[in-house]
Amino acid sequence: MEIRESHRNDYTISTDKKKLDIDSIHNFLANESDWSNGIPMNTLKTSIENSLNFGLYYKNKQIGFARIISDYSTIAYLGDVYILKEYRGNGLSKWLINEIMEHPNLQGLRRWLLLTNTAEWLYKKFGFKELPHPEFYMEKHNPNVYRNN
């Protein structure tokens, strides 16, 4: 897949996996997020290898991240979205989500999914809404999976 980059002043969003600071991403997801607390490094590396990744950088320093799991024809799952605290409030999350939603390989999809208990206001700006029929939704969830490794 073609690498895409977008620039704004000293900020860059890139889909180039080679630019990702895996240690920085791991530190945030394993230690600062509530959704993947304790994620093992190898699990993170596998998830990145099998996803479309969006790194957000300030002067080449990794300050944000998001990834897409997709078949690129019918469905996409948006996950692991974050911006480091000290960079929040500058419109970077809107820019990041916009870049994801406009990615050419993610157009014409029947369904987008995400799980969040924060920033609902952000995702609603891009057309996300609560499930109209949550009774149709099923999941198999193991919130302690990273503690068992």
Q: Domain count for the chain, please give it.
A: 1
Full 3-state SS string of the chain: CCCCEEEECCEEEECCHHHCCHHHHHHHHHHCCCCCCCCCHHHHHHHHHCCEEEEEEECCEEEEEEEEEECCCCEEEEEEEEECHHHCCCCHHHHHHHHHHCCHHHCCCCEEEECCCCCHHHHHCCCCCCCCCHHHCCCCCCCCHHHCC
Q: Is the pLDDT of residue 149 over 90?
A: no
The per-residue pLDDT for 119 is 85
Mean pLDDT for the chain overall: 95
Domain range for 21 is 5-147
pLDDT band of 27, cuts 50, 70, 90: very high
CATH number at residue 22: 3.40.630.30
Tens-place pLDDT, residues 117-141:
888 899 999 999 998 998 998 998 8
pLDDT band of 143, cuts 50, 70, 90: confident
The per-residue pLDDT for 41 is 97
Q: Is the pLDDT of residue 95 over 70?
A: yes
pTM beyond 0.85:
yes
pLDDT, average across residues 81-106? 97
**Angle, vertex CA 43, rays to CA 64 and CA 21, nearest 5:** 30
Residue percentage of the chain with pLDDT more than 70: 99
